[in-house]
């Protein structure tokens, strides 16, 4: 029986390595494509917008795929994709397309983590970083913490998605919590992009500054929250150990 378990472990590791290789190949191909599109976009943005207008459905599908891949691989900050979405598709349509892509990317990430285990997660993020997350270490408060962490702009949401894959949270609950929590940040970015597309640069700069400021404050709040949770954990562990010691003394 132990031999079977030992043989399964290398197989699982090999599958995780293969999956990581496939993901890396997709990442490389999409990076090359993204750089080419960026070059085209920067050289003649109006031509790109006109071309997307002619192939609206294909453009929408491309944006959804880019948003999904961004969640899985975390290539660039999500705000960059959202601003571009607002520029091309407008505030509300851009936000909706981004959210659809985010949901697909998040589901894919969680399913990959649950299939290939923690080794798949540690290929992208250090073990210590994952293990220190409050949504991993505090199951009773996990739903509330997930909503708070996703509603705060500037927090590493892609990292949280990988961490959620290691927990027992259901995918429908995750989608419900995070979609509502993400929306204010997404619409703020797409409004900025839409204003730039309409050549209302004053409005675009104002919203970009607001987005950057709110993200900075959100990141600071996240660091304060995680620091407090880390400080509380040793106290809780100490009190549990003390109670166990007292219990042994009684018996």
pLDDT over 80 at 70, yes or no: yes
Domain coordinates in residue numbering, the chain: 2-250
Percentage of the chain exceeding pLDDT 90? 17
In this prediction, residue 31 carries a pLDDT of 55
Report whether 81 contacts 70 (CB < 8 A).
yes
* Mean of pLDDT values over 173-195: 90
- Each residue of 133-161: b (16+ CB within 10 Å) or e? bbbbbeeeebeebbebbbbbbbbbbbbbb
On the CB side of 213, CA atoms within 13 Å amount to 6
pLDDT digits over 38-50, tens only?
555 545 556 666 6
- pTM for the full model? 0.71
Give the rounded percent of residues in the chain with a pLDDT score beyond 70: 67
More confident residue, 157 or 248: 157
Residue 106 in this model has a pLDDT that exceeds 80: yes
CA gap 146, 178 in Å, rounded: 7
- Higher pLDDT residue, 62 or 95? 95
């Amino acid at each position: 029986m132990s031999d079977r378990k030992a043989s399964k472990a290398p197989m699982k590791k090999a599958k995780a390595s293969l999956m990581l290789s496939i993901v890396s190949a997709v990442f490389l191909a999409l990076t090359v494509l993204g750089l080419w599109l960026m070059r085209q976009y920067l050289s003649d943005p109006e031509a790109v917008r006109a071309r997307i207008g002619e192939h609206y459905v294909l453009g929408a599908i491309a944006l959804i795929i880019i948003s999904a891949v961004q969640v899985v691989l975390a290539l660039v900050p999500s705000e960059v994709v959202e601003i571009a979405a607002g520029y091309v598709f407008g505030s509300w349509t851009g936000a909706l397309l981004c959210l659809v892509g985010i949901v697909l990317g998040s589901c894919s990430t969680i399913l990959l983590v649950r299939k290939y285990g923690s080794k798949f997660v540690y290929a992208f993020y250090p073990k210590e970083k994952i293990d220190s997350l409050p949504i991993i270490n505090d199951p009773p408060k996990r739903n509330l913490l997930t909503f708070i962490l996703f509603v705060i702009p500037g927090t590493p949401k892609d990292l949280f998605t990988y961490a959620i894959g290691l927990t027992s949270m259901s995918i429908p609950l995750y989608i419900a919590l995070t979609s509502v929590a993400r929306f204010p940040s997404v619409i703020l970015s797409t409004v900025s992009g839409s204003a730039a597309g309409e050549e209302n640069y004053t409005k675009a700069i104002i919203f970009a500054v607001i987005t950057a400021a709110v993200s900075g404050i959100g990141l600071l709040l996240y660091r304060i929250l995680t620091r407090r949770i880390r400080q509380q954990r040793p106290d809780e562990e100490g009190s549990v150990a003390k109670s166990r010691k007292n219990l042994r003394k009684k018996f």
